[in-house]
Structure 1
Amino acid sequence: MTLDLPADAQARLETEASRRGITLDQLIAELAAELPVSRAGGEAKHRLSFIGAGHSGRGDLSRRHREIRAEQTAGLTANDF
């Protein structure tokens, strides 16, 4: 594999590899091993990672979500959305 890196990035990698007493290839392999595991749909997971971050103020929401949705949409049709 060949990587084309900016000179300053390559210099930092070489310095770090030297500091650790390992080769540049070993350092890059170690850094790559620390990356998160890629999964199919990983972009969607990241894109939707904010879900659940807010607080609705309703402690019963997870337990009663279907009932609450029915209450709030009673009498509405699909065209109302």
Structure 2
Amino acid sequence: MSVTLDLPEHVVQRLTAEADRRGVALADLIADLAAQLPDSDQPRRRLAFVGVGASRSGISERVDDLLAEGFGRD
């Protein structure tokens, strides 16, 4: 399958350098990197809980305010 990508020059340079370093073709490097991505059918991991404790920075006292402002939401 043929795909055309419009990538910034610095990204192409990094990919090409990595392909050269590994001694593989650019297409093989991109295929290898894509194979390392999680399966699309896997659900996204979500934070199940928040641990709150005392802190020297005073954030413990502001937890309710931060959560009310949307801290930690996607």
TM-score > 0.5, shorter chain as reference? yes
After superposition, what is the alpha-carbon deviation per residue over 1:20-66, rounded to whole angstroms, capped at 9, x for unaligned? Answer: 000000000000000011017x4xx44xx112x236xxxxxxxxxxx
Aligned length: 49
Alignment RMSD (CA, Å) = 1.7
The alignment status of 1:54 with 2:50, answered yes or no, reads yes
* Richer in helix (by share): 1
State the match for 1:28 in structure 2: 30
Question: Percent of aligned positions with the same letter in both sequences?
Answer: 45
In the alignment, is residue 5 of structure 1 matched against residue 7 of structure 2? yes
Name structure 1 gaps, 5 residues minimum: 56-81
Q: How many angstroms apart in 2 are the aligned matches of 1:9 and 1:36?
A: 22
* TM-score, normalised with respect to structure 2: 0.59
Runs of 4+ in 1 over 3 A off after TM superposition: none
Structure number with greater CO (CA < 8 Å, separation at least 6) is 2
Write the letter of the residue equivalent to 2:11.
Answer: A
> Partners in 2 of 1:54 and 1:18 — Cα distance?
44
If the length of structure 1 is used for normalisation, what is the TM-score?
0.54
